[in-house]
Amino acid sequence: MDAAFITPFITSVQNVFSTMMQMPVTINTPTIKQSSPTATYDVSGIIGMSGDVAGNVVLSFPSASAQRIVQLLTGTEVSVDSPDFADAVGELTNMVAGGAKGLFQGKKKVLISTPSVIIGPSHTVTRPRGVPVICIPCSTDCGDLMIEVAILERTAVVASPEEINEKAA
Amino acid sequence: MKILLIDDSKTMRNIQKSVLAQLGYTVIEEACDGQDALSKVGAFQPDLILVDWNMPNMDGLAFVKAFRAGNKTTPLIMVTTESEKSRVIEAIKAGVNNYVIKPFTPDLLSQRIGETMSKVNKAAA
């Protein structure tokens, strides 16, 4: 498990929750799951990362936790099927991923995508093939969430057939 | 004072609007990306613009460059998760007057707006 990809997300999630919601986040012991496409919980905020790294990060919430956290962030009760709910989960994910990328070691050049949000039980998330998923369990007063990091340094990525063809051309 | 908020997240625009309302600013127009903002600046004529960086269609940096091609004076504050020094320098070179990294406290956003308007008013005096 590469601490270089764990510590920035821990620091960032704690910073985002304390700054935007005045709520501490307790970090439990990270684990690894092997390339599972299934998200841990029912609500997933997803950000793609590219540049010197490749992959994505997911903030996965049980619905009840997500509803309480969104209410705290927005100041209003928002139903899970409202577009505003997905927007709030996406913005939270954006702030956590953006904050983490600024903390990566070695001045990596990393670009992040705009967030996407998936809601529903047992949904799947496409992750880079063969990359283990680092799961960072977090507890808050609003409930649990899981940060799922599936990224690797670009130098370690096996080139795609398109990239090989481009280099050969 | 008229303020244009440019961010693809309605949640973030609402958070910023709430801070601005506490500061007494209530004449606010919203845009969800750079293209949307460019279509609104002419009619709205903002006195201050808060702009996100990562947005679909036209990102904040592209907006700043396009806007600055025709307007050198209206103050722009970039409000973004992009925290690397190189990105801050890139934004300032493109023409932003100040920079706020998300997440931010209401006090920090308020302070940056105050600093920016103070500099602009001094320059105009």
Asked if residue B31 has pLDDT above 90, the reply is yes
Q: Cα–Cα distance between B33 and A69 in angstroms, integer?
A: 26
Task: Indicate whether B111 pLDDT > 90.
Answer: yes
Q: Given this model, what pLDDT does residue A1 score? A: 54
pLDDT of residue A38: 85
Cα separations in angstroms, A106 against A113, A156, B13, B119: 21, 15, 33, 35
Write down the mean pLDDT value for chain B.
95
Closest chain B C-alpha to A105 CA, distance in angstroms: 12
Chain A residue with Cα closest to B9 = A87
**Residue where the block lists tokens 């962030």:** A73
Of B11, B81, B83, the CB nearest to A87: B11
Beta-sheet strands, E only, within chain A: 26-27, 31-33, 43-51, 53-61, 110-112, 116-119, 133-140, 143-153
Give me the amino acid identity at A141: D
Residue B68: CB partners within 8 Å, gap ≥ 6? B76, B94, B95
On whether the CB atoms of residues A123 and A50 are closer than 8 A, the answer is no
Domain count of the fold of chain B: 1
User: d(Cα B77, Cα A62) in Å, to the nearest integer?
Assistant: 36
ipTM over 0.85: yes
CA distance B115 to B81: 20
Contacts of A115 (CB under 8 A, 6+ apart): A45, A46, A47, A89, A90, A91, A93, A94, A97
**Cβ–Cβ pairs < 8 A, chains A and B:** 57
- CA–CA separation, B122 vs B16, rounded Å? 25
B12·A91 Cβ contact <8 A: yes
Fold for the domain defined by A3-168 = Chemotaxis protein chec (3.40.1550)
Please list the helix, strand and coil fractions of chain B in percent, rounded to the nearest 5, in that order.
50, 20, 30
Q: Does the pLDDT value for residue A162 go beyond 70?
A: no
Which of B9, B55, B103 comes nearest A20 by C-beta?
B103
Give the CATH number, domain containing residue B20: 3.40.50.2300
Supply the pLDDT for residue A169: 47
Tens digits of per-residue pLDDT, A78-105?
Answer: 999 999 999 999 999 999 999 999 998 7
pLDDT in tens, A25-69: 999 999 998 767 888 899 999 999 999 999 999 999 999 999 999
Which chain A residue is nearest to residue B85, measuring alpha carbons? A102
Chain A residues with CB under 8 Å of B52 CB are none
> pLDDT, tens digit, for every residue of B64-106?
999 999 999 999 999 999 999 999 999 999 999 999 999 999 9
| Burial class for A47, CB neighbours closer than 10 Å (0-12, 13-18, 19+) | buried
**Residue of chain B whose Cα is closest to the Cα of A16:** B103
Taking CB atoms and an 8 Å cutoff, what residues of chain A touch B61?
none
| Residues of the domain holding B81 | 2-124
Q: Which of residues 57-116 of B touch A (CB under 8 A)?
A: 80-84, 101-105
Using an 8 Å CB-CB cutoff, list chain B residues near A98.
54, 80-83, 102
pLDDT at A161 over 60: no
Interface test with B, best of A52, A57, A78, A94 (most B CBs within 10 A): A94
Residues of chain B neighbouring A74 (CB-CB closer than 8 A): 11, 14-15
Nearest CB to B9 within list A19, A75, A91: A91
Rounded CA-CA distance B52/A6 in Å is 26
Report the C-alpha gap between A13 and B77 in whole angstroms: 24
